[in-house]
Amino acid sequence: MTKEEIINRFKGKFGSDIEVVENNQPEPYLYISAARYQELCEFAKNDPQLDFDFLFQLAGVHYPDSRFEVVLCLSSHRKIHKAVIKVKLDKDNPATVSVSDFWATSAWFEREAMELFGIKFANHPDPRPLLLYEDWDYGYPMRKGWTGPDFIPMPEK
């Protein structure tokens, strides 16, 4: 399916909860409201025309002035198309739902986002830290403006 067809298919089901990001990339970039995030993931996976069966990655992004974002990069093995779904979360208390029911691989991506950004994922099957060491209690390192022990920023020339 082309970029336009994918956007229209999502808009047909979700209407005004979808916001399209205008750019000249070949795949669609869509914002979905946080309330309908889980519904959209289920639709993307199970709809026979979209058939997004492969979650390529799930990333957290921090915009300190306004929000956190969770970005899903989806692709389809059989239809060979891609899409990027983004959801905006609250700046002070970012929390959303885990999508590991639909794509089991998202479990590790969400564990990483939990410990590095502090985004909470409800219903996660295994919310242990993945990468940081066991006694880490210095905050969430990937947030903008974080400093901690043993963090030496590059000196400006």
**Which residues contact other proteins (rule: CB under 8 A)?**
21, 23, 25, 27, 29, 53-57, 59, 61-62, 71, 73, 77, 80, 82, 84, 103-105, 107-108, 129-134, 138, 141-142, 148, 150-155
Strand order in the sheet with 29-32: 18-20, 29-32, 82-89, 67-75, 54-63
* Strand 82-89 relative to strand 29-32, pairing: parallel
Q: Supply the minimum distance, in Å, between the C-beta of residue 50 and other proteins.
A: 15
Query: Among residues 12 and 152, whose Cβ is nearest to other proteins?
Result: 152
Find out whether 106 and 44 touch, Cβ atoms under 8 Å. Answer: no
Q: Supply the minimum distance, in Å, between the C-beta of residue 148 and other proteins.
A: 6
Query: Among residues 32 and 73, whose Cβ is nearest to other proteins?
Result: 73
Q: Residue 124: is it exposed, middle or buried by C-beta count within 10 angstroms (0-12/13-18/19+)?
A: middle
Distances (CA, A) of 84 to 51, 65, 150: 14, 23, 35
Q: Supply the minimum distance, in Å, between the C-beta of residue 105 and other proteins.
A: 3
Query: Among residues 43 and 56, whose Cβ is nearest to other proteins?
Result: 56
